[in-house]
């Protein structure tokens, strides 16, 4: 099962090799892909090379893109398989990078992230 997922991931990336693939080979190829896509995102976020953190590819059947603490991000193989284009993978990676850059003291409270939710008033719809 893991070999099939790895082979499917490599097909998606366009780097399928004609010999039998091991699951670890597929993860290594996926990791190289994520590393290549993340470099311009770190540059766009103006994160210095010495402050960049690893984003590891994990084998998981759930689509996951998350920051673990302040030192490591994770993206699952399921999310990579769901993505049709590199831009979709880049969006998931950008979310991880942005999550790491958020100052938790400023943006979170006891119950997590603060969000101001309110319905628009009449003045917001004026002139439409």
Question: Cβ distance 64 to 7 under 8 Å?
Answer: no
Q: Which two tokens stand for residue 93?
A: 């990676």
Beta-bridge partners for 76: 58
Fold classification of 24-102 (topology level): Zincin-like (3.30.2010)
Query: What percent of the chain lies above the pLDDT cut of 70?
Result: 62
Question: Cβ distance 30 to 80 under 8 Å?
Answer: yes
Stated pTM of the model: 0.63
Residue 113, pLDDT score: 47
CA–CA gap between residue 42 and residue 75 (Å, rounded): 16
DSSP-assigned letter for residue 19: S
- Mean pLDDT computed over every residue of the chain: 76
Question: Cβ distance 75 to 54 under 8 Å?
Answer: no
pLDDT tens digits, 71-109: 899 999 999 999 889 999 999 999 999 888 875 554 444
């Amino acid at each position: 099962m893991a070999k099939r997922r790895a082979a499917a991931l490599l097909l998606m990336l366009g780097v399928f090799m004609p010999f039998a693939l091991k699951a670890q080979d597929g993860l290594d190829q996926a990791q190289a892909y994520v590393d290549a896509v993340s470099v311009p995102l770190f540059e766009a976020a103006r994160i210095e090379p010495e402050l960049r953190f690893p984003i590891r590819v994990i084998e998981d059947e759930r689509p996951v893109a998350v920051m673990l603490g302040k030192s490591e991000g994770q993206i699952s193989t399921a999310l990579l398989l769901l993505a049709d284009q590199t831009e979709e993978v880049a969006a998931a990676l950008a979310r991880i990078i942005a999550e790491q850059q958020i100052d938790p003291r400023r943006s979170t409270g006891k119950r997590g992230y603060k969000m101001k939710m309110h319905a628009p008033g009449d003045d917001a719809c004026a002139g439409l």
